[in-house]
Structure 1
Amino acid sequence: MKNLMILLLTVSWLNVSGQDFEKDVYPTELGDLTFTFIGHGSFMMEWDGQVIHVDPSTREADYTTLPDADLILITHHHGDHCDPSAVAAVEKSGSTVLLTALAKESLGHGTVLPNDETATFKNFTITAIPAYNLVHKRDHGDPFHPKGTCNSYVIEGGGMRIFIGGDTENTPEMKALKDIDIAFLPMNLPYTMTPEMVADAARGFKPDVLYPYHYGSTDPAELVALLKDLDEVNIKVRKMP
């Protein structure tokens, strides 16, 4: 559906037990795709009758009040992305959990989807893209996210391709992506990308819609300014610090 998307609802709100979340809705061949922006790296997708939770975290919301998950995607093992309590709150009989090997060690269950492999869920395919640091490292010299341990995901279905960055920098694998309709790119220093790195990635694969997320204290306006001349990419800023 590249270049054919029409935004139906922008910055509508979902109130759940006193929690207010922004929502965006997009049309697809499988019906409306609804994003609920929970916070940081956590969001929810409702699509083709399925509820998909991405990196649920109790730091961001009371997940006992949110819809149960048909699919849970966990990008990596760090506690703000792999939270056993949040997973338990939305997991039900028959839920599918796709995650990395280290995240499975932390969570205790789930199906490992290694880098560069693809899984099928209902009417969707999910491909794990390597997520890792190129520049930012810990004091002892190891990357915050070593290559091979973390996933980004491409979800494809209903004529749409959605990229979920997780914790990553502007890797060659990301910049080589094609036909991405919606992309979530992290911008939380020092663990992920600077605004300049996000801009570099966006110029590389040109998603129709770009959501900066997991941005901490970084000002998303910096990214908007860096990409002001890139008309192909529509930047949408939501409450995802």
Structure 2
Amino acid sequence: MLDNIEVFTQSSIRIKNKFATIYLDPFHMKEEPHDADYVLITHDHYDHFSVEDIRKVIKQDSMLVVPAAMEDEAGELASEVKSIVTVTPGIYKEIAGLELETIPAYNTVKPFHPRRAGWVGYILRIEGKRVYIAGDTGLTKEAKQVKCDIALVPVGGTYTMDVKRAADLINTIRPEVAIPIHYGGIVGKKSDGKSFAELVNSPVKVVEKIQYFE
């Protein structure tokens, strides 16, 4: 499963299995693979909802999943995908065979991602594993209640959790594997992944996956 998860830059993620290819927040894509069965968007900031990059990965039968507040913005792509599905925080949904849950993603002490916006992280159920992609979030009570096997969490600070808070979250929810994201580009240092790993307690395994630093 771990080998099937790629992180390109920022929070741009591709997860492949034998059934589907799933993208989350595609951004600064260097190629145009047009292989997405699903594209999941966490919120509408430019480094997470990039129409230009979504167009590089979608094909005519792709499913685009967005927070409900983004329905109008996502409508620009309506003619280029099979359908647009909206979600709200705190739900379970099955979308054409993909099982997912949404976790509220918001800042607790910063203004950049207000809870009222209705933005999300996702838990994907893939090959018997629960994969949590946190989105741009702080150390929230909902995040601390997540049960997952693999967690992809932002560590760059400024707009999200920093290294210490991200490690606090991982040490609370204790997945098998933690993958740091959202650092070494617009925010955070390239070294944040290693700093995060040093703060995560055994037996959680930390794996750095970012391929491109900005």
TM-score, shorter chain, exceeding 0.5: yes
Aligned to 1:4: none
1:124 aligns with 2:69: no
* Moved segments of 4+, more than 6 Å: none
Structure 1: state its 5+ residue gaps: 1-6, 8-23, 26-33, 137-142
Give CA-to-partner distance per residue, 1:116-175, whole Å, 9 cap, x none.
112213443111100000122xxxxxx100114210000013211000011001111111
1:50 aligns with 2:20: yes
Matches for 1:89-100 after TM superposition, within 5 Å: 89-100=56-67
Q: Secondary structure at the match of 2:7?
A: strand
Matches for 1:157-172 after TM superposition, within 5 Å: 157-172=126-141
Quick check: 1:82–1:106 contact (8 Å CA) kept in 2?
no
* Larger displacement relative to structure 2 (38-47 or 115-124): 115-124
Distance 2:101 2:66 in 1: 11
Query: Which amino acid is 2:195 matched to?
Result: E
Aligned to 2:44: 77
Give CA-to-partner distance per residue, 1:198-232, whole Å, 9 cap, x none.
011011111110000011333222212222xx212
* Larger displacement relative to structure 2 (166-175 or 116-125): 116-125
Structure 2: state its 5+ residue gaps: 79-83
Give CA-to-partner distance per residue, 1:76-134, whole Å, 9 cap, x none.
00010001111122222221111113333322242110001122134431111000001
Q: Secondary structure at the match of 2:108?
A: coil
Matches for 1:1-241 after TM superposition, within 5 Å: 24-25=2-3, 34-57=4-27, 60-64=28-32, 66-108=33-75, 109=78, 110-136=84-110, 143-148=111-116, 149-178=118-147, 180-216=148-184, 217-218=188-189, 219-227=192-200, 230-239=201-210, 241=213
Between structures 1 and 2, the one with greater helix share: 2
Structure exhibiting the larger radius of gyration computed from Cα positions: 1
Q: TM-score, normalised by structure 2?
A: 0.86
Distance 2:104 2:196 in 1: 23
- Cα 1:124–1:232 change in 2 (3 A) is farther
Distance 2:74 2:50 in 1: 7
Q: Which has the higher contact order (CA 8 A, sep 6+)?
A: 2
Quick check: 2:14–2:22 contact (8 Å CA) kept in 1?
yes
Q: Secondary structure at the match of 2:8?
A: strand
Quick check: 2:29–2:56 contact (8 Å CA) kept in 1?
no
Query: Which amino acid is 1:201 matched to?
Result: L
Quick check: 1:54–1:73 contact (8 Å CA) kept in 2?
yes
Aligned to 1:20: none
Between structures 1 and 2, the one with greater strand share: 1
State, as a whole percentage, how many aligned pairs show the same letter: 29
- Cα 1:122–1:47 change in 2 (3 A) is farther
